[in-house]
Amino acid sequence: MRALITGAGGFLGQAIARRLRARGDAVRSVARSRHAALDALGVEQVQHDLSVGDGLTEVFEGVDVVFHVAALAGMWGPRERYVAVNVTGTENVVAACRAAGVPKLVYTGSPSVSFRGHDEEGVDESVGYAEEFLFYYSETKAIAERLALAANSPGLAVTALRPHLIYGPDDPHLLPRLIQRHRAGRLRILGDGENRVALTYVENAAAAHVSAGDILQFGHPSAGRPYFISDLEPVRVWDWLNGVFLALNLPPVTRRVPKGLALTGAAIIEGIWRGLSLSGEPPITRFTVAQISSAHWYDLSAARRDLGYDPPVGPEEALRLTLEGLRGRIAAGTL
Instruction: Provide the strand spans (E) within 34-114.
Output: 44-47, 65-68, 104-108
How far is the CA of 182 from the CAs of 179, 188, 197, 293, in angstroms?
5, 8, 19, 17
Q: How large is the C-alpha radius of gyration of the chain?
A: 20
Q: Could you count the other beta carbons within 10 Å of the beta carbon of residue 184?
A: 9
The CA distance from 166 to 176, in Å, is 12
DSSP SS3 for 7 = coil
Report helix, strand and coil shares of the chain as percent, to nearest 5.
45, 15, 40
Identify which of 295, 292, 296, 289 has the alpha carbon closest to the alpha carbon of residue 261. 289
The catalytic site residues sit at 137
Q: Rounded CA gap, 335 and 327, in Å?
A: 9
- Helix (H, G, I), strand (E, B), or coil: what is residue 93? helix
The conformation of residue 113, written as its DSSP 8-state character, comes to G
* β-strand pairing of 104-108 with 157-163: parallel
Helix (H/G/I), strand (E/B), else coil: 23: coil
